[in-house]
Amino acid sequence: MKKLSVSVIFLAAFLVTTVFAAVTVKTNRGVVYENAEVTSVEKGAVMLKHSGGVAKVPLRELSKEARRSLGVKPTLETAKGDFNQQLKVFKKSLFDLDVSYAGHLGDLEKKAQTAGLLDQVLEVRKELKEFRTEGRAEYKYDKLKKMRAIYEGERMKRRNRIVDELKVALGQYQIELKGIQKALTMENKVDEAILAKKEEERVVAMLMNRKQALDDLGVFSVAAVAPVEKSDKVAMEKARASSRSGGIASTVIASATKDKPFENSLAMRFVPVPITGGESEGENILFSIWETRVEDYQAFIKKNRGRTWEKPDFPQKDDHPVVEVKWADAEAFCIWLTAKEQAEGILGSNQKYRLPSDHEWSCAVGIAEKEDAEMSPSLKKFRNMEVYPWGEGFPPPVKAGNFYGEECKKNPFQNGRVPIAGYNDGFDRTAPAGSFESNKFGIYDLGGNVSEWCQGWYDTTNKVNKVRRGGAWYLSKTTDLMSASRAGGTQGFSTPGLGFRIVLDMGRGDE
């Protein structure tokens, strides 16, 4: 028997003794596993042992960095997935530009309509409908011509940048494919190694003609309008469909941001919140920045004769959050406002107002990555107890929100309630919406003022109570004010510290 070289013996010893330490990983669905380590690798998935137990996680849900930190060897499937993810980034760069352009066209249409310029309105609507097709018409409207020239110039810049970036992406993909071929050959998996080699040959061909490759891959073709995420599809469809439906605001909705929120017919403002995990993952959901105000709810009551509302025993102004609202009434408000704005052409037929789900609310308050979206809300109440809407630590910092502080000593709500020592927010009952600091998404009062109804069941097994989230002006306990705090309530339940916040659901991409 020939003696093994020292380098081979060293390499073998390294492979045997190398142990990947337990790490914290986050899946593409937003689920976080702490102290995770791989116990086995099955076809297309890994078994993870973590601080909360054991989980089977599909490889496609782990990023390249997460797989590397876990010590998972690359496969042909994961390499293809990583490359396709890079293509999605390229597509989204162009797609974001299209959505932005559509939004500007919507603004231009509105200005022309306000000025009574019918010919210009029709030209803008035609451009909005056809700007991603070949052979578009020439227009007489100077502002439209200038806007289109800017759009086409920016699109060309992005195309050229993508061509350059594709070279880097293909080079990395080719190196990874070579490594996979070698590993498979050493494991005597020759047939699989051949598949990896064929994929490398395809990569080499794409490197020879990157512009053609991008067309073939659908990045530069008209088919690139197909979205990277469902939310993109909805945004683009609403932007392009606004000229057909007459709903000018659809383009504004699609381009809403924290700094430029969408404002509806009641002057309620909405900002986007990324949804990771849960049934609405990747959907385009816009949160109202305020809890529903007295003036918003009064508009609903005024238009729905016969509907009653039991007001609290303390005075409120129009800009205070509405309270003493039952879940069923909050749901009815959403249905009414949706029908109203669809009839006015503000919303499309696929858009609607509704209450947020429990998991969407967690996304808005910033703890979604710490929770399991599939778990019943009733089981998540006492998890992540160190996290509050204002951050970590108790009592809350100055101007963190409207809670039961020392300002309530002169006018206590109920005997036995203990105010937060050293905290005074200046409001012994409800406060005007937006009186305190907003969070990173531009949303106010998730931690205080009033608790908020959510859409789903508090206990998904015993479906009796609906979910309530968030602190309120009459709450002071740490367990009531933490971000994960939840409670249940029947559909007919109400209190002077309970209101609701609505979201604008842009519709599912497959509808």
- Nearest Cα neighbor of 323 from 473, 478, 487, 444 is 473
Is residue 144 domain-shared with residue 180, that is, in the same domain?
A: yes
Domain count, the chain: 3
Digitized pLDDT (tens) for each residue of the chain, 511 residues in all = 444 444 443 333 333 334 446 788 888 766 788 888 888 887 778 888 887 778 888 887 788 888 888 888 888 888 888 888 888 888 888 878 888 888 888 888 888 999 999 999 998 888 887 776 666 678 888 889 888 888 888 888 888 888 888 888 888 889 999 999 999 999 898 998 999 999 999 888 888 887 777 777 767 653 333 333 444 444 444 444 443 443 444 566 878 899 989 999 999 999 999 999 999 998 889 999 999 999 999 999 999 877 888 899 999 999 999 999 999 999 999 999 999 988 877 888 889 999 999 999 999 999 999 999 999 999 998 777 789 999 999 999 999 999 999 999 999 998 789 999 999 999 999 999 999 999 999 999 999 999 999 999 999 999 999 999 999 999 999 999 999 999 999 999 999 999 999 999 987 543 3
Is residue 335 domain-shared with residue 484, that is, in the same domain?
A: yes
- Nearest Cα neighbor of 453 from 498, 403, 495, 484 is 498
Please enumerate in sequence order all residues whose Cβ is within 8 A of that of 173, keeping only pairs 6 or more positions apart, or say none: 79, 82, 83, 203
Domain final residue, candidates 67, 102, 120: 67
Domain final residue, candidates 217, 232, 247: 232
Residue 145, in any domain of the structure: yes
CA 370 vs CA 31, 33, 97, 378, 480: distances in Å: 7, 9, 33, 15, 18
CA distance 210 to 207: 5
Residue 205, in any domain of the structure: yes
CA distance 338 to 335: 5
N- to C-terminal Cα separation, the chain? 68
Is residue 57 domain-shared with residue 106, that is, in the same domain?
A: no
Cα angle 206-208-212, degrees, rounded to a multiple of 5: 55
Is residue 222 domain-shared with residue 336, that is, in the same domain?
A: no
Domain of residue 461, CATH code: 3.90.1580.10
CA distance 380 to 30: 16
Is residue 83 domain-shared with residue 177, that is, in the same domain?
A: yes
Q: What share of the chain is helix, strand, coil (3-state, %, to 5)?
A: 45, 15, 45
Please enumerate in sequence order all residues whose Cβ is within 8 A of that of 495, keeping only pairs 6 or more positions apart, or say none: 323, 324, 451
Residue 249, in any domain of the structure: no
Is residue 351 domain-shared with residue 488, that is, in the same domain?
A: yes
Is residue 283 domain-shared with residue 381, that is, in the same domain?
A: yes
Residue 149, in any domain of the structure: yes
Is residue 210 domain-shared with residue 266, that is, in the same domain?
A: no
Is residue 264 domain-shared with residue 211, that is, in the same domain?
A: no
Is residue 116 domain-shared with residue 46, that is, in the same domain?
A: no
Range of the domain at 223: 78-232
Is residue 382 domain-shared with residue 486, that is, in the same domain?
A: yes
Full DSSP string of 223-277: GGGS-SSHHHHHHHHHHHHHHHHT-THHHHHHT--SSS-EE-TT--EEEE----S
pTM above 0.85, yes or no: no
- Other beta carbons within 10 angstroms of residue 208's beta carbon come to 8
89: which 2 tokens?
A: 């980034």
- What DSSP character marks residue 278? S
Is residue 153 domain-shared with residue 29, that is, in the same domain?
A: no
SS3 39: strand
Residue 242, in any domain of the structure: no
